């Protein structure tokens, strides 16, 4: 899923939130609806600043009265066939869950960005990965999934906007970028995707009036008859099955690894350093980084379970993805966990220490 980048190398130093917003403009989004919340308010600020400056851009940017309003505006625009997105941070994403469930049921494409902060509750504005369960297991009510991409760099904050829309439109399903406060706020070099290089999938289902050649179409998530409701659910499940083929992950030094670290997003960046530190000491550590956390790379982890002594899952939460790793390896190897919460971040040395202490057991 390579994105076309500007041939002249449009490289800039940008904040993650701004790179994401710029990528959204280059993806020709029709609309953005959002509400300020730290640590992602730069997204709406960037968009409102940039849109009027660029003649070629016709994006609607609206600061809603709440996240509940934002997601329902997204629902409306998506139903009308627009390429539409919203962004928020954890408490705001919780507020959106009702709307997200309806959008998933009504099978509409859209992008929701969660720049995660520490929770539960109002929590802290510091980065966290505490929303993994919410993002990957549904979040709202009913049997549904989002397609979830977990960036680990400012580059990916930009790239995944394109990838997420591609997938959302291909499967008519809401997609999520699951970032965190650090990725949103940190500055890195980024090569921006080429503007206008993301063709829009046709949306014959959109509420664009009723042409003669089309059936009456009502966007709804209400199917009161159980037989019909089950059919809708089966169709959704079939779709999620097809989405499994979109799984993406990155492997670092797994060829000869005897110990495997599993981490996504910011934690995977820290783990890369741990891999190097461990190898300096002669401990063969590798890293698997899920890029999509839904769909999840269960199959690859199952294979790696035949090769390594144990796995260590590293997360900025109380241990959420570790459950998926355990599911994947089916008890073949022990799976350990190390994490910190509430906006605290592990150091590469903390992780190495954990590797060593498990090894000595």
Partner 1 sequence: MEIKVDELAGVKYTAKDFASDVDVKWCPGCGDYSILAQVQRSSPDFGERKENIVWVSGIGCSSRFPYYMNTYGFHGIHGRAGAIATGVKLANPKLQVWVATGDGDMLSIGGNHFIHLCRKNIDVKVIMFNNRIYGLTKGQYSPTSEKGKVTKSSPFGTVDFPFNAVKLATGAGATFVARSFDRDPKHLQDMINRAAKHHGAAFIEVYQNCPIFNDGAFSLLTEKETKPDNVIVLEHGKPLVFGANKEKGIKLDGLNPVVIDLSDGKNSVNDCWIHDEFDDNPTRVFLLARFSDIPNFPVPIGVFRQFSKPTYDKDYVQQISDIQAKKGAGTYEKLMYTTNIWEVR
Site string for partner 1, 122-161 (x = CB under 8 A): x---------------------------------------
Query: Which of 10, 12, 30, 68: binder of partner 1 (CB under 8 A)?
Result: 68
Q: How far is the CB of 40 from partner 1 (least distance, A)?
A: 10
Q: Of all residues in the chain, what percent are helix, strand and coil, respectively (each to 5)?
A: 40, 20, 40
CB of 67 to partner 1, least distance (A): 8
Q: Which region among 40-48, 248-256, 291-299, 348-356 touches partner 1 (by CB under 8 A)?
A: 40-48
By CB under 8 A, which span of 48-56, 176-184, 196-204, 214-222 interacts with partner 1? 48-56
- Paired strand residues for 25: none
Residue 48 touching partner 1 (CB under 8 A): yes
The DSSP 8-state label assigned to residue 193 in this structure reads B
**DSSP E strand stretches across 131-248:** 147-149, 174-180, 187-191
14/106 with CB nearer partner 1: 14
**One residue of 22, 67, 156, 180 binding partner 1 per CB under 8 A:** 67
Phi, psi of 194 (to 5 degrees): -65, 135
Is 91 among the residues that bind partner 1 (CB under 8 A)? yes
Q: What minimum distance in Å lies between the beta carbon of 52 and partner 1?
A: 5
Q: Which is nearer to partner 1, 193 or 343 (CB)?
A: 343
The correct pick among 44, 104, 203, 312 for binding partner 1 (CB under 8 A) is: 44
CB of 10 to partner 1, least distance (A): 23
Give the integer Cα–Cα distance in Å for 361 and 352: 15
The span from the CA of 240 to the CA of 227, in Å, is 20
Smallest separation (angstroms) from partner 1 to the CB of 97 = 14
The answer to the question of residue 207 lying near partner 1 (CB under 8 A) is no
Selected from 1, 13, 49, 189, the binder of partner 1 by CB under 8 A is: 49
Residue 43: phi, psi to the nearest 5? -65, -55
Contact (CB, 8 A) for 16 and 157: yes
Binding span for partner 1 by CB under 8 A among 15-23, 65-73, 190-198, 305-313: 65-73
With CB under 8 A, what is the number of residues at the site for partner 1? 18
Residues in contact with 24: Cβ distance below 8 Å, sequence separation at least 6, in sequence order: 32, 43, 47, 59, 85, 111, 161
Least Å from the CB of residue 43 to partner 1: 10
CB closer to partner 1 out of 76 and 91: 91
Smallest gap from Cβ 137 to partner 1, in A, equals 23
Question: Should residue 37 be labelled a site residue for partner 1 when binding is judged by CB under 8 A?
Answer: yes
Choice from 9, 52, 202, 282 touching partner 1 (CB under 8 A): 52
Sheet holding 147-149, edge to edge: 60-63, 31-34, 84-88, 110-116, 174-180, 147-149, 292-294
194 lines the binding site for partner 1 (CB under 8 A):
no
Q: Residues 11, 13, 66, 347: which binds partner 1 (CB under 8 A)?
A: 66
E-strand spans in 135-284? 147-149, 174-180, 187-191, 249-252, 259-262
Which burial class, exposed, middle or buried, applies to 284 when counting CB atoms under 10 A from its CB (0-12, 13-18, 19+)? Answer: middle
**In the beta sheet, which residues pair with residue 286?**
260
In contact, 164 and 327? CB cutoff 8 Å: no
Instruction: Check residue 4 and report its DSSP letter.
Output: P
- Cα–Cα dist 322/312, whole Å: 8
Q: Does 41 bind partner 1 (CB under 8 A)?
A: yes
- 65 belongs to the binding site for partner 1 (CB under 8 A): yes
Residues lying near partner 1 in the complex (CB under 8 A) are found at: 35-38, 41, 44-45, 48-49, 52, 63, 65-68, 91, 95, 122
């Amino acid at each position: 899923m390579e994105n076309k980048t500007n041939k002249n190398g449009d490289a800039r130093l940008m904040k993650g939130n701004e790179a994401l917003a710029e990528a959204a403009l280059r993806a020709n989004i029709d609309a953005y609806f959002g509400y300020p919340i730290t640590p992602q308010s730069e997204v709406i600020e960037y968009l409102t600043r940039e849109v009027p400056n660029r003649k070629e851009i016709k994006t609607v940017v609206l600061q809603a009265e709440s996240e509940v309003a934002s997601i329902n505006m997204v629902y409306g625009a998506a139903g009308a066939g627009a390429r539409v997105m919203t962004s928020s941070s954890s408490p705001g994403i919780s507020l959106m869950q009702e709307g997200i469930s309806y959008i998933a049921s009504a099978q509409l494409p859209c992008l929701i960005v969660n720049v995660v902060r520490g929770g539960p509750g109002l929590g802290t504005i510091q980065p966290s990965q505490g929303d993994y369960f919410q993002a990957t297991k549904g979040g709202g009510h009913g049997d549904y999934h989002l397609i979830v991409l977990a960036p680990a760099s400012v580059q990916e904050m930009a790239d995944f906007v394109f990838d997420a829309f591609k997938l959302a439109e291909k499967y008519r399903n809401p997609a999520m970028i699951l970032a965190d406060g650090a990725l949103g706020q940190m500055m890195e070099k980024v090569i921006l995707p080429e503007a206008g290089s993301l063709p829009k999938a046709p949306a014959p289902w959109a509420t664009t009036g009723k042409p003669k050649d089309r059936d009456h179409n009502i966007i709804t998530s209400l199917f009161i008859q159980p037989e019909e409701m089950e059919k809708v659910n089966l169709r959704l499940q079939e779709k999620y099955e097809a989405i499994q083929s979109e799984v993406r992950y990155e492997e670092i030094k797994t060829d000869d690894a005897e110990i495997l670290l599993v981490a996504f997003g910011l934690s995977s960046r820290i783990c890369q350093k741990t891999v190097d530190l461990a190898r300096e000491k002669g401990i063969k550590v590798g890293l698997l980084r899920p890029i999509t956390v839904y769909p999840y790379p269960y199959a690859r982890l199952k294979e790696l379970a035949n090769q390594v002594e144990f796995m260590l899952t590293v997360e900025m939460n109380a241990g959420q993805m570790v459950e998926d790793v355990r599911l994947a390896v089916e008890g073949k190897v022990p799976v350990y966990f190390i994490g910190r919460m509430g906006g605290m971040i592990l150091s590469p040395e903390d992780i190495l220490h954990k590797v060593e202490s498990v090894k000595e057991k």
